[in-house]
Amino acid sequence: MRAAEPRHLLRAYRDLALIDRDDRICGVVDDVEMAETEPGLWEMTALLVGPGAWGRRAPRWFTRLLPGRRLVRVDAADVASTGHSVRLLKKADELGLARFEHALLRRLGTD
């Protein structure tokens, strides 16, 4: 996706659910990495997921209280489509997404 201003890209992606190739929810877009490809034209280069991406959004005191600073970078090439959610071309495990959640579900026997 391209936009004339970075804030339009943020609005388009931030806080959307990530759905992997197997139709499993595997996180939420926390931030967007972008580049100015032409003067006045911005393009999404990656989606950032996890507590490590919250630094620019949340107060510093809050991010210090959170366990871990893990950050997963999902390249634009791994995004299939965007609408009410972001569809990914790969499985969550391949991208390093939702590791804790999937491990917990396996331990509980519900995955």
Domain of residue 73, CATH code? 2.30.30.240
Nearest to 77 by CA among 51, 54, 43: 43
Q: What is the DSSP string of 61-77?
A: HHHHHSS----EEEEGG
pLDDT for 104 equals 60
pLDDT for 100 equals 65
Segments in the chain below pLDDT 50: none
Q: Based on the structure, what is the number of domains in the chain?
A: 1
- The helix (H) or strand (E) run that includes residue 58 is none
The percent of residues above 90 in pLDDT, for the chain, comes to 59
Q: What is the CA radius of gyration of the chain?
A: 15
Three-class SS state of 32: strand
pLDDT for 77 equals 97
Residue located via tokens 């936009």:
3
Q: Residue 53's domain spans which residues?
A: 2-108
| Joined tokens for residue 56 | 């620019």
pLDDT for 18 equals 96
Q: Which pLDDT tens digit goes with each residue over 57-69?
A: 777 777 677 666 7
